[in-house]
Chain A
Amino acid sequence: MGPGQVSWPELLQFAIAGLKNGAIYALVALGFTIVYASTNVINFAQGEFYMLGGMFATFGFSHLGLPLGLAALAAVIATAAVAVVFELLAVRPRVGGDPMTIIIVTVGGSVLLRSLARHAFGSNELALPAFSPGESIMLGGAAIDRQTLWVWAVAAVAVFALWLLYSRTRLGRAMRATAIDGEAARLVGIDTRLLVTVSFALAAVLGAIAGVVVTPLTQTAFDVGAAVGLKGFAAAILGGLGNPLAAVVGGLVLGLLESLSVAFISSTFKDAIALAVLLLVLFVRPSGLLGRSRREKV
Chain B
Amino acid sequence: MTIVVAVGLASAILAGCAGGGGAAKPSAGGEAAKKPYRIGAVLSLTGSYSGLGTPEKETLDLEVAAINAAGGVNGHPLEVVVEDDGTDTGKATAAVSKLIDQENAIAVIGATGTGQTMATRVDIDRAGIPELSLAGGNAVTQKFDKQVFQMPWPNRLVAPFVLKHMKGKGVKSVALFTDASGYGKDGLAVITPELAKLGMTAVANETFNPGDTDMTAQLTKMKAAKPDAILLWAAGKEAATIMKNRAQLGITTPVYGGSGQARTEFIQGAGAAADGFVFGTGKVLLPKSYGDAPNRKLAEDFAARYKQKYGAEPNIFTAHAYDAIHIVAEALKRIPGDVTPAALRDEIEKTSGFVGLDGTFTFSATDHNGLTENDLVMYAVQDGKWVLAK
Question: Chain A residues in contact with chain B, CB under 8 A?
Answer: 1, 5-7, 10, 13-14, 16-18, 20-21, 24, 89-90, 92-93, 105, 108, 111-112, 115-116, 118-119, 123-125, 127, 129, 136, 143, 145, 148, 214, 217-219, 221, 223-224, 226-228, 258-259, 262-263, 267-268, 270-271
Name the one of B50, B217, B224, B225 contacting A123, with C-beta atoms under 8 angstroms: B50
Smallest Cβ distance from B15 to chain A, in angstroms?
6
Which of chain B's residues have a CB closer than 8 A to the CB of A219?
237, 240-241, 265, 269
C-alpha spacing A258/B209, complex, angstroms: 12
User: Which residue of chain B has the shortest Cβ distance to A128 in the bound complex?
Assistant: B269
Is A267 in contact with B2, judged by CB distance below 8 angstroms? Answer: no
Smallest Cβ distance from A214 to chain B, in angstroms?
6
Q: Count residues of chain B with CB under 8 A from any CB of chain A.
A: 47
Given the known interface contacts A105-B5, A143-B248, A143-B250, the answer about A118 and B50 at a Cβ–Cβ threshold of 8 Å is yes
- Some 19 contacts from A to B, beta carbons below 8 A apart, are A5-B224, A6-B224, A10-B224, A17-B216, A21-B214, A108-B5, A115-B12, A116-B12, A123-B46, A136-B250, A217-B214, A218-B214, A221-B237, A223-B47, A223-B48, A226-B211, A262-B217, A267-B221, A268-B180
User: Which residue of chain A has the shortest Cβ distance to B312 in the bound complex?
Assistant: A124
User: Which residue of chain A has the shortest Cβ distance to B208 in the bound complex?
Assistant: A267
Residues 34-50 (chain B) with a chain A CB within 8 angstroms? 46-48, 50
Q: Mark B176-212, 1 if CB is under 8 A from A, else 0.
A: 0000100000000000000000000000101111111
Smallest Cβ distance from A9 to chain B, in angstroms?
9
C-alpha spacing A108/B180, complex, angstroms: 28
Name the one of B1, B216, B224, B268 contacting A1, with C-beta atoms under 8 angstroms: B224
C-alpha spacing A268/B212, complex, angstroms: 12
Is B1 in contact with A89, judged by CB distance below 8 angstroms? Answer: yes
Is A124 in contact with B265, judged by CB distance below 8 angstroms? Answer: yes
Q: Does B16 contact A (CB under 8 A)?
A: yes
Given the known interface contacts A125-B265, A268-B207, the answer about A136 and B15 at a Cβ–Cβ threshold of 8 Å is no
Q: Does B54 contact A (CB under 8 A)?
A: yes
Q: Does B382 contact A (CB under 8 A)?
A: no
Is B217 in contact with A259, judged by CB distance below 8 angstroms? Answer: yes
Given the known interface contacts A13-B216, A21-B214, A214-B213, the answer about A263 and B221 at a Cβ–Cβ threshold of 8 Å is yes
C-alpha spacing A271/B179, complex, angstroms: 13
Which of chain A's residues have a CB closer than 8 A to the CB of B214?
17, 20-21, 217-218, 259
Is A217 in contact with B213, judged by CB distance below 8 angstroms? Answer: yes
Q: Mark B1-15, 1 if CB is under 8 A from A, else 0.
A: 110110011001101
Which of chain A's residues have a CB closer than 8 A to the CB of B47?
223
Instruction: Sort A-B residue pairs by CB-CB distance and give the 3 closest, nearest first.
Output: A227-B211, A123-B50, A262-B217
Is B244 in contact with A217, judged by CB distance below 8 angstroms? Answer: yes
C-alpha spacing A89/B48, complex, angstroms: 29
Name the one of B8, B248, B271 contacting A136, with C-beta atoms under 8 angstroms: B248
Is B268 in contact with A112, judged by CB distance below 8 angstroms? Answer: no
Q: Does B220 contact A (CB under 8 A)?
A: yes
Is B225 in contact with A1, judged by CB distance below 8 angstroms? Answer: yes
Q: Does B75 contact A (CB under 8 A)?
A: no
User: Which residue of chain B has the shortest Cβ distance to A226 in the bound complex?
Assistant: B211
